[in-house]
Structure 1
Amino acid sequence: MKIKTIISSAAVLFLSYACTTSNTNSASDEVKEYQPIFESLSQHEAAPEWFQDAKLGMYFHWGPYSVPAYGSAWYPANMYIKGSKVNQFHEKNFGPIEEFGYEDFIPMFKGEHFDAEEWADLFKMTGAKFAGPIAQHHDGFAMWDSDVNPWNCLDMGPKRDITGELFAALRKRDIKTIATLHHARNGQRNANTPEYWLKNGFNSHYPYHPDLPTATTDPKLRKLFGNWENIEDFNQYWLDQVVEVVDKYQPDILWYDSWLNMIPEEKINEMVAYHFNSGLKNKQEVVVCSKHQDIPWEYGVDDMEQGGRRDIYPLPWMTDVTLSNKRWMYVEGEPYKEAALVVRNMIDVWSKNGTVLLNISPRADGVINQEQRDILKDIGDWMNVHGEAVYGTRPFHIFGYGTANASDASHDGQSAKIKYTANDVRYTVAKDKKSMYVFFLGVPEGGKRINMRAIGGFHRNQPPSPIKDIKLIGSNAQVKWKLTPQTLQINMPEVEYNPIATVLKLELE
């Protein structure tokens, strides 16, 4: 059983201070080789400075499940649940599951329009500092040139090394790399249980019953469904695939979806040690991320799906959000979030010591549709103007203030769909503390006087040093301001404001 670390109140206070300081001497610089035990792994810095500076990464849900473009990325599982909406859709459009299984989508997943160079340009234009593929989802199909997994994109489907081509293109553009791995849930854990899948479904991705195609004993096909003779063999298969990704591609970040807790702790420790030692060998400051703190916070970064936090978190953390309104893979007719909603939610994350991993959804043929591209361009245009307030910054003593309704909170805090306005303000501070940034998560009213008591006057949360001047980023308009004993008065200039978010730069002494 995996033991989770509990942070005491005193530790939180200490780490709150530590996370805002720059660690120039990483512990990993002194380690010659990591051992797969906590005492050794905990010497590795969980969030190196480059990661804290990056703020935005991108990835994509893309695989054979993109072919039907229906339901969700759980189509491979749901198609085998008799009577479900996905099962009905599948049998109507493709035939009975006994005659057309998930493996039959793979030849249809051609990715003929995939262009690694063009995708890398798109990620860079959006402002991403790291990017990469879902190397393997729950479905068991590897998006890399695999000698371990016979179900892979070089031997089947696109017949190209998607991970290899994309990583090469990203590195030419000085973009760090991430490989996300969701295959812990691929292992079939219900084959020997009397109730099979319907009662124990969350143990494994594919439903199991002796009469279902997923119960196959075909030596090759059973690997797709994770249907090994015993779960110990699957656990080794899980690890062997990660080792192969690390050996072939040296990702800067390994990221794990939920259900990592189903993998034995010794296998996880082996994986982490192998990744960290690869970083030492290749002179990389590597990172490992997981959900639900399945990897201890001492050397892993915690991720919250579509979530946020209500306050500044003492440790650097991450949230993965999707550009789609709800789905992660490409689904016909799926609406997308507006750029303003995405950016404002990202600002909230950044103000609370977080990093964003943004998901997009390519079609099965490798086309990223124009609707997503237009939103990414709007995000990129905003980042291009306001990037100094984002990259390389750290949280202030308080994240900000406002009136946004957090009643739709998800996970540990605010969801990725909370609608902010200009009444909601967030802060970041430059690492050198020579400037502080004030974000209005909406369009301010020109000519309005704002009394910012939260950081002005006698309030304890004053900027790190006295204010020399205040400027509106992206504009030459003069900002009139006055510091009184009670408040910081700011007169918002009468200009045309950015429709996504407005940022003031406080130049400090």
Structure 2
Amino acid sequence: MTEYVWPNDPTVLAKLDWWRDQKFGVIIHWGPYSRLGVFESWTLCQEGDDFMARPDPWSDDPEGYREVYEKLPEGFDAPGFDPEKWAAACAAAGMRYVVFTTKHHDGFAMYDTALSDYKSTNTPLGRDVAGEVFDAFRARGMGVGVYFSKADWHHPDYWVPGRDTPDRYANYRAREEPERWQRFAGFTHGQIEELLSGYGPVDVLWLDAGWVRAPREDLDLPRLAARARELQPGILVVDRDVHGPQEDYRTPEQTVPAEPQPFPWESCITLGPFWYTFGPGETYKPAGEVVHLLCRIVARGGNLLLGIGPDHTGALPVGVYERLAEIGAWLDVHGEAVYGTRPCEPYESEDFVFTRRGDTIYAIGLRTDLDEVRVPVSRIPRSVGLLGHDGPLDWSAEDGAVIVRLPDGHRVSHAFALTLT
């Protein structure tokens, strides 16, 4: 793997420290594709993976399907769209920042771009979706991240009309048609400039479509990143999967590194089976599974970016709200062991994961059915506490361990956290 390049701009380093303290964010996918209940933009792509399969009756008719897909905005009214309700639920869940899809690979802008008519304000919904989302989450004290796809399968200078589109790449060689490519690059820079100059403070520019990279598809990311920081000093630029100086943190998708990493990172993982709500009857991870996931990620030095998304009406399902409320209730009591912490040896041991802030080590127990626990330690602590319990604890020490008798009747959901000072 290419070595991580630490930023040298002090304002970026300060923002990176802030971001590493947040620990828990939400990524929200949504667009007119939700009217069909398909894998975001991917059904336009003809690479043959199962998730790219076109729905019936267009399974063998890519051109007919594209014509239908491009007209989806004409019926995009979304009467259930309520960004304040989304923001309230995510804030109550203990999430500290949002990343919202301002434009996915299909090129549809979920904001009021002046550079295209293919946008949310030009639909029956008629609203600047991203702007409202950012305002609602910012009002709750949360950070803001702009998701933006560097690819654009709608733009005629990326997928040229009348030419085959066999894969996700531009359907021509940029070096063979440099004027066309430069028009597309200028369009891309222009849209990002709109988002970073007209939508308030932005903390993260989260660039997707990692195949759009030099030398094949060169958007001049150094210039783009420099301009981003002129507009938003200190902004984190995350050119996903393109390791180098424009990837301020790394973003493993639907997976968690097996051990602590020597660089900032964030696992983006969905709450349900998909990045947004395809339809009724979807199942979601239990809240306890998400809590354990968060604790393991934080103990390994990362952040969790939990993926949710509304259905075609703009409403989040009841099951999502229920999970978020349950996760938030746990963090209300145990957030001290999560936010603002850093990894701490031994990181993980049997049913414990470990974090640290200053002189305090947090031993987060992932089993809640025990009356007595044995916590491995390198030094005997001066005191031992239990988050959510105000009284003294019955504990003793032996070589390399602290034995803690948990209070009678003390039972918490999902996990508990001991403080070792």
Give the shorter-chain TM-score range.
0.7 to 0.9
Equivalent in the alignment of 1:406: none
Alpha-carbon spacing, 1:364–1:445, altered in 2? closer, same or farther (3 Å): same
Question: 1:154 offset after TM fit, Å?
Answer: 1.2
- Structure-1 separation of matches of 2:298 and 2:65: 48
- Structure 1 letter corresponding to 2:97: F
- Of 251-260 and 474-483, the range deviating more from structure 2: 474-483
- Structure 2 letter corresponding to 1:203: Y
Contact 1:78–1:87, Cα closer than 8 Å, also in 2: no
Contact 1:184–1:262, Cα closer than 8 Å, also in 2: no
Equivalent in the alignment of 1:434: 359
Alpha-carbon spacing, 1:451–1:239, altered in 2? closer, same or farther (3 Å): same
- Structure-2 separation of matches of 1:435 and 1:335: 38
Does 2:60 match 1:63? Answer: no
Question: 1:79 offset after TM fit, Å?
Answer: 8.9
Question: 1:84 offset after TM fit, Å?
Answer: 9.5
- Structure-2 separation of matches of 1:27 and 1:183: 24
Question: 1:278 offset after TM fit, Å?
Answer: 1.7
- Structure-2 separation of matches of 1:69 and 1:124: 27
Unpaired stretches in structure 1, ≥5 consecutive residues: 20-25, 30-43, 210-227, 403-423
- Structure-2 separation of matches of 1:154 and 1:371: 29
- Of 310, 322, 328, 2:275 maps to 328
Alpha-carbon spacing, 1:288–1:95, altered in 2? closer, same or farther (3 Å): closer
Equivalent in the alignment of 1:407: none
Does 2:238 match 1:286? Answer: no
Does 2:54 match 1:87? Answer: yes
- Structure-2 separation of matches of 1:59 and 1:98: 28
Alpha-carbon spacing, 1:176–1:87, altered in 2? closer, same or farther (3 Å): closer
Does 2:242 match 1:296? Answer: no
- Structure-2 separation of matches of 1:51 and 1:100: 41
Question: 1:173 offset after TM fit, Å?
Answer: 2.0
- Structure 2 letter corresponding to 1:501: A
Equivalent in the alignment of 2:370: 445
SS of structure 2 residue aligned to 1:439: strand
SS of structure 2 residue aligned to 1:271: helix
Q: Show CA shifts across 1:18-74 (max 9, x none).
A: x9xxxxxx9435xxxxxxxxxxxxxx428532211111111211001111124x224
Contact 1:260–1:294, Cα closer than 8 Å, also in 2: no
Question: 1:266 offset after TM fit, Å?
Answer: 5.7
Question: 1:125 offset after TM fit, Å?
Answer: 0.8
- Structure 2 letter corresponding to 1:6: E
- Structure 1 letter corresponding to 2:275: W
Question: 1:257 offset after TM fit, Å?
Answer: 2.1
Alpha-carbon spacing, 1:438–1:112, altered in 2? closer, same or farther (3 Å): same
Contact 2:27–2:98, Cα closer than 8 Å, also in 1: yes
Alpha-carbon spacing, 1:189–1:48, altered in 2? closer, same or farther (3 Å): closer
Question: 1:151 offset after TM fit, Å?
Answer: 0.7
Equivalent in the alignment of 1:425: 352
* Identical-pair percentage: 24
SS of structure 2 residue aligned to 1:243: helix
Equivalent in the alignment of 1:361: 309
- Structure 1 letter corresponding to 2:10: S
SS of structure 2 residue aligned to 1:488: strand
Alpha-carbon spacing, 1:313–1:75, altered in 2? closer, same or farther (3 Å): closer
Contact 1:46–1:287, Cα closer than 8 Å, also in 2: no
- Structure 1 letter corresponding to 2:73: I
- Of 252, 255, 271, 2:224 maps to 271
Q: Show CA shifts across 1:404-439 (max 9, x none).
A: xxxxxxxxxxxxxxxxxxxx3111111xx1321111
SS of structure 1 residue aligned to 2:250: strand
Question: 1:292 offset after TM fit, Å?
Answer: 2.0
Question: 1:157 offset after TM fit, Å?
Answer: 4.4
Equivalent residues in 2 for 1:16-27 (5 A)?
A: 27=9
- Of 250-259 and 54-63, the range deviating more from structure 2: 250-259
SS of structure 1 residue aligned to 2:383: strand
Contact 2:301–2:342, Cα closer than 8 Å, also in 1: yes
- Structure 2 letter corresponding to 1:48: L
Equivalent in the alignment of 1:33: none
- Structure-2 separation of matches of 1:111 and 1:260: 32
Equivalent in the alignment of 1:472: 386
Question: 1:202 offset after TM fit, Å?
Answer: 3.7
- Of 3, 6, 15, 1:6 maps to 3
Equivalent in the alignment of 1:373: 321
Alpha-carbon spacing, 1:272–1:394, altered in 2? closer, same or farther (3 Å): same
- Of 160, 173, 185, 1:235 maps to 185
Unpaired stretches in structure 2, ≥5 consecutive residues: 173-177
Q: Show CA shifts across 1:456-475 (max 9, x none).
A: xxx4xx4xxx6222222123
- Structure-1 separation of matches of 2:67 and 2:101: 25
Contact 2:238–2:248, Cα closer than 8 Å, also in 1: yes
- Structure-1 separation of matches of 2:299 and 2:291: 12
SS of structure 2 residue aligned to 1:301: coil
Equivalent residues in 2 for 1:182-261 (5 A)?
A: 182-184=149-151, 186=153, 196-198=164-166, 201-203=167-169, 230-249=180-199, 250-259=201-210, 261=212
Question: 1:142 offset after TM fit, Å?
Answer: 0.5
For the aligned residue pairs, the C-alpha RMSD in angstroms reads: 3.4
SS of structure 1 residue aligned to 2:64: coil
SS of structure 1 residue aligned to 2:346: coil
Contact 1:65–1:73, Cα closer than 8 Å, also in 2: yes
Alpha-carbon spacing, 1:278–1:28, altered in 2? closer, same or farther (3 Å): farther
Q: Show CA shifts across 1:388-418 (max 9, x none).
A: 111111111332123xxxxxxxxxxxxxxxx
Alpha-carbon spacing, 1:152–1:45, altered in 2? closer, same or farther (3 Å): same
SS of structure 1 residue aligned to 2:144: strand
- Of 464, 472, 495, 2:409 maps to 495
Alpha-carbon spacing, 1:273–1:68, altered in 2? closer, same or farther (3 Å): same
When normalised by structure 1's length, the TM-score is: 0.72
SS of structure 1 residue aligned to 2:262: coil
Equivalent residues in 2 for 1:32-43 (5 A)?
A: none
When normalised by structure 2's length, the TM-score is: 0.86
Alpha-carbon spacing, 1:153–1:294, altered in 2? closer, same or farther (3 Å): farther
Does 2:100 match 1:125? Answer: no
